[in-house]
Structure 1
Amino acid sequence: MNSAIPFTPDLSQQPEVVPFFDAPSNTFSYVVKDPASKACAVVDSVMEIDYAAGRLSLDGADKIIDYIQGQQLELQWIIETHVHADHLSAAPYIQEKLGGKIGIGADIVTVQNTFGKIFNEDTDFARDGSQFDALFNDGDQYHVGQLVCHALHTPGHTPACMSHVMGDACFVGDTLFMPDGGTARADFPGGDATTLFQSIRRLLSLPGETRLFMCHDYMPNNREVAFETTIAEQRASNIHVHDGVSETQFVEMREARDASLGMPRLILPSLQVNMRAGHLPASDTNGVVYLKLPINQL
């Protein structure tokens, strides 16, 4: 991976960012508005699931839709920073209501191949990313109205992780948490602690005043929920990767920490849905949709 940032962010463009918090999964979704127009994007939407009851809810997505409609915004992009393992995506539902293109990193094909095997998907499950409208490569540029946006490949948590730089705002997915929360785990299939460190140091070479928006916050030490920080704050005080932490130190810490973690509660339904861009698997012969529970595979 080239350590250089393949673009120069335009920090003079300062999008309006509105967070929506899903408490059960500790997930932030965002509406990102072009300051010069009514165009907007949605980042990392959530579809709720009562796993024990097998019931889905789109209450959180409806709040996002209501906000966009209430502000008379035009939805142009629905961005997935990666294939989430802790919540289901509401991207297709939001697209059906408001339009927009669903985009994810091009290495989604690696994730689809890995989990297509784990879930024993048949040939009806495409492994080419075609469930998404756009596949981003490192450095790709796109627009939300007049807002210039860039995709930055930041693998390590998963192979397909992308951070999205929209003007002076950067949406980091699970790569980083708030400074007192540290960093994402790197032990999922396709994850790698060394790669994660390199991605983070690359990310931290962005200008110090760049605003960073988290996908999750777990409120360490019972503090209030938080979602926004800066590159400068991360470099100064992130408990895992502040300036001065070596790659060797980070990898040793990350691998030891990951070995102590349990799997996310919703990993099995989340992966099956999210690798399909938020679509459910095809219904069975009785018309009912089922999700699989592979035994001893993760």
Structure 2
Amino acid sequence: MSDPAIIAARALIERTGAAQPVVRTFFDEATFTATHVVSDPATGKAAIIDSVLDFDPASGRTTTTSADAVIAHVREAGLAVEWLLETHAHADHLSAAPYLQEQLGGTLAIGRHIVSVQQVFGKVFNEGTRFARDGSQFGRLFDDGDTFMLGSIPAIALHVPGHTPADMAYVIGDAAFIGDTLFMPDYGTARADFPGGDARVLYRSVRRLMGLPVQTRLFLCHDYKAPNRDVFVWETTVGDQRTGNVHIHEGVDEDAFVTMREARDATLGMPRLILPSIQVNIRGGRMPEPEDNGVSYLKLPLNSL
């Protein structure tokens, strides 16, 4: 394998040994989203990955019930939040990262290719010049292969586009938080038909992740319960994905995957919260600037997507 970032990630996993992060997951059934609180047991330092702000589209009201449960856990466990990590600009839920940052601190981070998503959706929503398209809403923009620390545990960021241009996975010790690239083996892979998505690129990103050691724990951003499964699940391993993923197990070649993925995507409707979610998440989880009456508004572009 000649992929420097994956080689570095493999080495990181292999040398961390017993330095395994503790993961506590909060599942929001309304959006099928798994928020992970990842902590270093030696130092109590923590990261919160892919948080959820509760949103009722019928009333336009937001609440913080999901985020408050995360906050309560962090405080009860005596954790200190270093990072608020986003795997991508989600299309199915609003991020609670600014609220969590206000309550708990930490650096808000995402992949550098968020600027591409901001450019695309800045046009979709006809955003004015006050909307910065340079990623400045985030405290850190990761490039592929960037390293960082969670307490005493080494970590590395991997660019895994395909679902969107900006998807990132974060390898922290022996665990990888992979966003929407993969679902549980019995459910398959993420869609690739959003603006900037690409099924062929997704295939290559998944193959990169499958180059990690077989014992690597994989934590997913979503679960939708595969047929004949009655419980939500969000943790698997590289080995299980290699042998059991119904869309992209070992032996499935790129062209076959692309044909399957594009045909499947053509049957899917848009996520229920895509329009409000994207507007908020490209701003790092912040609402659009209030208008002269002090109220923030979300746009609903007609016949555009």
User: Shorter-chain-normalised TM-score: which range?
Assistant: over 0.9
1:106 aligns with 2:109: no
- Residue of structure 2 equivalent to 1:252: 259
Aligned counterparts of 2:12 and 2:211: Cα–Cα separation in 1: 12
Q: Which amino acid in 2 is paired with 1:200?
A: V
Aligned counterparts of 2:185 and 2:192: Cα–Cα separation in 1: 18
- Residue of structure 2 equivalent to 1:119: 125
- Helix, strand or coil at the partner of 2:126: coil
Q: Which amino acid in 2 is paired with 1:241?
A: I
Question: Given that residues 47 and 56 in structure 1 are in contact (C-alpha distance below 8 angstroms), is that contact kept between their aligned partners in structure 2?
Answer: yes
Q: Which amino acid in 1 is paired with 2:210?
A: L
Aligned counterparts of 1:116 and 1:203: Cα–Cα separation in 2: 30
- Residue of structure 2 equivalent to 1:69: 75
- Equivalences for residues 227-266 of structure 1 within 5 A: 227-266=234-273
Q: Which amino acid in 2 is paired with 1:24?
A: A
Poorly superposed stretches of 4+, deviation over 4 Å = none
- Residue of structure 1 equivalent to 2:36: 30
Question: Could you state the TM-score of these two structures normalised by the residue count of structure 2?
Answer: 0.96
- Residue of structure 1 equivalent to 2:281: 274
Question: Given that residues 152 and 164 in structure 1 are in contact (C-alpha distance below 8 angstroms), is that contact kept between their aligned partners in structure 2?
Answer: yes
- Residue of structure 1 equivalent to 2:24: 18
- Equivalences for residues 1-298 of structure 1 within 5 A: 3-4=3-4, 5-7=6-8, 8-11=11-14, 12=17, 13-221=19-227, 222-298=229-305
Identity of matched residues, %: 56
Aligned counterparts of 2:33 and 2:12: Cα–Cα separation in 1: 26
1:164-198, Cα deviation, whole Å (9 max, x unpaired)? 00000000100000000100000000000000000
Structure 1 position 3, deviation (Å)? 4.4
Deviates more, 1:33-42 or 1:119-128: 33-42
- Helix, strand or coil at the partner of 2:115: helix
Question: Given that residues 6 and 139 in structure 1 are in contact (C-alpha distance below 8 angstroms), is that contact kept between their aligned partners in structure 2?
Answer: no
Q: Which amino acid in 2 is paired with 1:287?
A: G
Question: Given that residues 84 and 271 in structure 1 are in contact (C-alpha distance below 8 angstroms), is that contact kept between their aligned partners in structure 2?
Answer: yes
Aligned counterparts of 1:116 and 1:175: Cα–Cα separation in 2: 24
Structure 1: gaps spanning 5 or more residues: none
- Helix, strand or coil at the partner of 1:25: coil
- Helix, strand or coil at the partner of 1:148: strand
- Helix, strand or coil at the partner of 2:261: helix
Question: Given that residues 6 and 138 in structure 1 are in contact (C-alpha distance below 8 angstroms), is that contact kept between their aligned partners in structure 2?
Answer: no
Structure 2: gaps spanning 5 or more residues: none
Structure 1 position 237, deviation (Å)? 0.4
Aligned counterparts of 1:129 and 1:224: Cα–Cα separation in 2: 37
- Helix, strand or coil at the partner of 1:63: helix
Structure 1 position 284, deviation (Å)? 1.0
**Aligned CA-pair RMSD:** 0.9
Count the aligned residue pairs: 297
Structure 1 position 9, deviation (Å)? 2.3
- Helix, strand or coil at the partner of 1:165: strand
Aligned counterparts of 1:293 and 1:58: Cα–Cα separation in 2: 23
Aligned counterparts of 1:102 and 1:251: Cα–Cα separation in 2: 33
Structure 1 position 54, deviation (Å)? 0.6
Using a 3 Å threshold, how does the CA distance of structure 1 residues 297 and 6 change in structure 2: closer, same or farther? farther
Aligned counterparts of 2:163 and 2:31: Cα–Cα separation in 1: 17
Aligned counterparts of 1:49 and 1:166: Cα–Cα separation in 2: 30
